[in-house]
């Protein structure tokens, strides 16, 4: 009897070692997604932003985006507005960090000055769009705590469904729910819940393509604000990777000289 109990205890112990809690599985999924999207070094992309109001009226903006991967830290990115005329020359610089507050600056050509975005304003809208400043940061794993909820089909694809809870101050969200494609480990849908835990926005990512035989990027993203009935669509094109960008291309002076 003692021998049988010992065998059973050893079996249960072994099971507990390999069994994952929903929190452990959620974190493991996030780590794997981050691992698969590492090593692209730098990129340049063209972007069209389409703003739609509650009545469906549109305004369009043309943007160039440069990004730089940083070992041991979050990514750096620089967004430069080319059109329309009233925002031409506006530039947005973001340094993402895994744990501490991100550093973000906005250059406004009409004022000819660089404005730092304070941590308390990260939940505010970016240039009148339905994307908040915090949505534009690279989503570092350590910024959130995770919980796997279930697996389900979305748009004909098998996906992990997990909750992520922001761990940084001044987030506008209580949680986000992420549908992650099981094959490419990229999000196909994200729901954003406000601080009152009400559904605020939904982001859908479509038309994924592979670059460098490894990195998947969506050609279209659509952010719908369920409370204001406004939306913002992003159309991405002309992806280029490993173009030779350096840290100097992302210092604060680069905002003023961005062309």
Q: Is residue 6 part of a domain?
A: no
For range 110-128, the mean pLDDT: 88
Q: Is residue 133 part of a domain?
A: yes
155-184 residue pLDDT tens: 899 999 999 999 988 899 999 999 999 999
For range 197-222, the mean pLDDT: 97
Q: What is the CATH number of the domain that holds 138?
A: 2.50.20.10
Q: Is residue 196 part of a domain?
A: yes
Q: Is residue 10 part of a domain?
A: no
For range 39-53, the mean pLDDT: 97
Give residue 255's pLDDT. Answer: 84
Tokens linked to 164: 């992520």
**How many domains does the structure of the chain reveal?**
1
* Helix extents (H) in 69-227: none
* Helix extents (H) in the chain: 2-18, 22-36, 253-257
pLDDT at 18 over 90: no
Residue 19: band (very low, low, confident or very high) from pLDDT cuts 50, 70, 90: low
For range 229-252, the mean pLDDT: 96
Q: Is residue 7 part of a domain?
A: no
Q: Is residue 12 part of a domain?
A: no
In the chain, the percentage of residues whose pLDDT exceeds 90 is 77
> What is the rounded average pLDDT for all residues in the chain?
90
- Look at residues 77, 60, 50, 40 and name the one whose alpha carbon lies nearest to residue 215: 40
Give residue 200's pLDDT. Answer: 98
Q: pTM to 2 decimals?
A: 0.89
Q: Is residue 16 part of a domain?
A: no
DSSP secondary structure letters along 28-83: HHHHHHHHHT----EEEEEEEEEEE-TT--EEEEEEEEEEE--TTS--EEEEEEEE
Residues 6+ apart with CB under 8 A from 145: 23, 27, 164, 165, 167
Residue 257: band (very low, low, confident or very high) from pLDDT cuts 50, 70, 90: confident
Residue 242: band (very low, low, confident or very high) from pLDDT cuts 50, 70, 90: very high
63-113 residue pLDDT tens: 999 999 998 899 999 999 999 999 999 999 999 998 788 899 999 988 888
For range 48-72, the mean pLDDT: 96
Give residue 6's pLDDT. Answer: 42
Domain of residue 205 covers 21-257
pLDDT at 26 over 90: yes
Residues 6+ apart with CB under 8 A from 2: none
- Look at residues 77, 212, 80, 187 and name the one whose alpha carbon lies nearest to residue 138: 77
Q: Is residue 15 part of a domain?
A: no
Tell me the C-alpha distance between 205 and 201, whole Å: 13
């Amino acid at each position: 009897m003692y021998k049988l109990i010992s065998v059973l205890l050893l079996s249960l112990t072994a099971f507990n070692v390999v069994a994952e809690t929903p929190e452990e599985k959620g974190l493991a999924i996030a780590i794997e997604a981050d691992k698969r999207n590492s090593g692209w070094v730098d990129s340049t992309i063209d972007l069209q932003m389409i703003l739609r109001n509650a009545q469906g009226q549109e305004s369009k903006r043309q943007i160039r985006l440069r990004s730089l991967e940083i070992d041991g830290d979050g990514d750096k990115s620089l967004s430069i507005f080319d059109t329309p005329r009233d925002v031409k020359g506006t530039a947005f610089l973001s340094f993402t960090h895994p744990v501490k507050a991100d550093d973000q600056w906005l250059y406004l050509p009409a004022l000819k000055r660089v404005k730092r975005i304070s941590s308390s304003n990260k939940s505010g809208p970016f240039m009148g769009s339905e994307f908040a400043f915090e949505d534009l940061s690279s989503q570092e794993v350590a910024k959130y705590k995770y919980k796997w909820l279930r697996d389900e089909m979305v748009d004909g694809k098998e996906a992990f469904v997990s909750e992520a809870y922001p761990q940084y101050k001044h987030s506008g969200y209580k949680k986000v729910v992420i549908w992650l494609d099981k094959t490419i480990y990229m999000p196909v849908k994200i729901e954003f819940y406000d601080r009152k835990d009400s559904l605020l926005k939904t982001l859908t990512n479509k038309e994924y393509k592979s670059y460098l035989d490894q990195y998947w990027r969506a050609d279209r993203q659509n952010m719908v604000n369920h409370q204001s009935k406004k939306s913002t669509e992003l159309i991405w094109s002309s992806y280029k990777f490993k173009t030779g960008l350096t840290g100097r291309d992302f210092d604060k002076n680069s905002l003023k000289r961005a062309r």
